[in-house]
Amino acid sequence: MSAAAQPGALVISLDFELHWGMRDRVRPSDPAFTDLSASRAVVVELCDLFAQRGIRATWATVGFLFASTRSELAVFLPRTRPVYRQPELDPYRETVGDDEASDPEHLAGSQVRLVASTPGQEVASHTFSHFYCLEDGQDEESFRADLAAAQAIAAQHDLQLTSLVLPRNQWNPRYAAAVIDNGFNCYRGPQPSWGHKSKQHDKQNAFNRASRLVDTYTGLTPPPTMAWNQVQEDNGLCNVAASAFLRPFEPRRRLVEPLRQSRLRGGLRDAARRGRIFHLWWHPHNFARHPGQCFALLNNLLDEFDRLATSEGMRSLSMRDVAETVRGACTTPKPGDHRKTN
């Protein structure tokens, strides 16, 4: 079957980063920090849910989290590192505890092993150090060293990483060769709309953030989906672009929650009926504060997916599955097999 003739697919990716993804904004004294240790239970629940419902997903994991102890992490720290103009972005300044028990916000080797052992789950990379590809002070040499470190620490878990998600979706096309040379063939590009364009962090203004929020709840059309024949780029990389961010439940927006759910279901239906890809992503810690409501929304969407799998042949795929399909490996599940485990 040609790429253009593939049935629709639901792709889920999770940015598994704990404190490494917010350390420049959230300190241990901040209320949001308490969500991070609670989010470890969310990881367990998501793995259970995906296994029970036959959902394949990609876990883009910060390389630091592959370690269970500080001494294990130290072995893989690259010598060539970014020198960010904003020093608060530098993760190597962060104090790391002795082990997971004493520092569950920065070390998570046991959770990486859990994800890797759960049927249908792909362990992918969120770079080694939560690397920012568009910020001042980094360059291709430090990026290459970062990706090499990510592959090295993953190899300790007998894992080969092939999918990459750039922190804050800062995709830098000038670094495509570095991505390929380090063993990756797939990345998650930014959602194709003005408000989601890759930018430096300090250039993301209030208007950008407001436009994304409004679009989540009141967008007049479903979230964007991607045609199969648009995935592979001329350089050989597969761009499995984001369609929508699954925002955490917010009590003060309870009244517009049905609008958000309706729009997400519309994205699923559009992908199923047109044979396209709907790529939903979020962070495990997004479910930590209101887990009941967040999991209820997710299950609602998965119920819709089940109906579309039955009526339209829609499939649940990881980013790796999409890349293998497009590149001709043909190792993805057949329509209707989304409830089977591997």
**pLDDT band at residue 254 using 50, 70 and 90 as cut-offs:** confident
Report the distance separating Cα 307 and Cα 311, nearest Å: 6
pLDDT of residue 217: 53
Residue type, 224: P
pLDDT tens per residue, range 277-309: 999 999 999 999 999 999 999 999 999 999 999
pLDDT of 342 strictly over 50: no
Q: What is the pLDDT of residue 338?
A: 43
What confidence score (pLDDT) does residue 141 get?
98
Q: Look up residue 300 and give its two tokens.
A: 């609602």
Q: Give whole-number Cα distances, 53 to 247, 294, 298, 338, in Å.
A: 21, 16, 12, 8
DSSP for residue 235: T
- Supply angle C-alpha 250, 256, 262, rounded to 5: 110
What was the pLDDT predicted at 341?
Answer: 42
Q: Report pLDDT for 205.
A: 52
219 pLDDT band, cuts 50/70/90, is low
- Say what the pLDDT of residue 277 is: 98
More confidently predicted of 205 and 310? 310
Side chain identity, residue 269: R
pLDDT 10s digits, 118-163 = 999 999 999 999 999 999 999 999 999 999 999 999 999 999 999 9
Two structure tokens written together for 33 = 């920090």
Indicate whether 316 pLDDT > 80.
yes
In a 3-state reduction of DSSP, which class is residue 47? Answer: helix
Would you say 232 and 238 are in contact if contact means Cβ atoms under 8 Å apart?
yes
pLDDT band at 58 (very low <50, low <70, confident <90, very high): very high
Contact residues for 13 (Cβ-Cβ < 8 A; gap 6+): 57, 58, 59, 60, 124, 163, 165, 188, 240, 242, 279, 280, 281, 319
Contact 90, 130 (CB under 8 A): no
Phi, psi (deg, nearest 5) at residue 141: -60, -45
Look up residue 321 and give its two tokens: 């599955």
Summary mean pLDDT of the chain:
90
Residue 94 tokens read as 């962060």
Domains by residue range for the chain, with CATH: 3-326 (3.20.20.370)
What's the pLDDT tens digit per position in 45-55?
999 999 999 99
Q: What percent of the chain has pLDDT over 70?
A: 87
278 forms beta bridges with 10
Give residue 3's pLDDT band: very low, low, confident or very high (50, 70, 90): low
Mean pLDDT of 99-115: 98
What pLDDT, on a 0 to 100 scale, did the predictor assign at position 333? 47
Strand pairing class (276-282; 315-317): unpaired
Containing 51, the helix (H) or strand (E) segment is: helix 34-53
Q: Which residue has the higher pLDDT, 4 or 264?
A: 264
Q: How many angstroms separate the CA atoms of 323 and 237, rounded?
A: 8
Look at 4 and 250; give whichever has higher pLDDT. Answer: 250
Q: What is the DSSP string of 80-148?
A: S----SSGGG-GGGS---SBTTT-TTT--HHHHHHHHHSTTEEEEES-SS---TTSTT--HHHHHHHHH
Structure tokens at 234: 């001329």
Locate 195 and state its tokens: 């408000």
* Res 66: pLDDT: 98
Given a cut of 50, is residue 337 above it in pLDDT? no
Neighbour-count burial for 129-157, b at 16+ CB within 10 Å, e otherwise: bbbbbbbeebeeebbbbbbbbbbebbeee
Whether residue 329 is predicted with pLDDT greater than 60 in this model: the reply is: no
DSSP for 174-207 reads GGHHHHHHTT--EE-PPPSSGGG----GGG--HH
CA distance 310 to 8: 12
pLDDT digits (tens, 9 = 90+) for 63-95: 999 999 999 999 999 999 999 999 999 999 999
> pLDDT tens digits, residue range 152-201?
999 999 999 999 999 999 999 999 999 999 999 999 999 886 554 555 55
The whole-angstrom separation of Cα 17 and Cα 118 is: 19
pTM of the complete model beyond 0.95: no
Among 233, 149, 219, residue whose Cα is nearest residue 189: 233
> What digits encode the pLDDT tens for the residues 8-41?
999 999 999 999 999 999 999 998 999 999 999 9
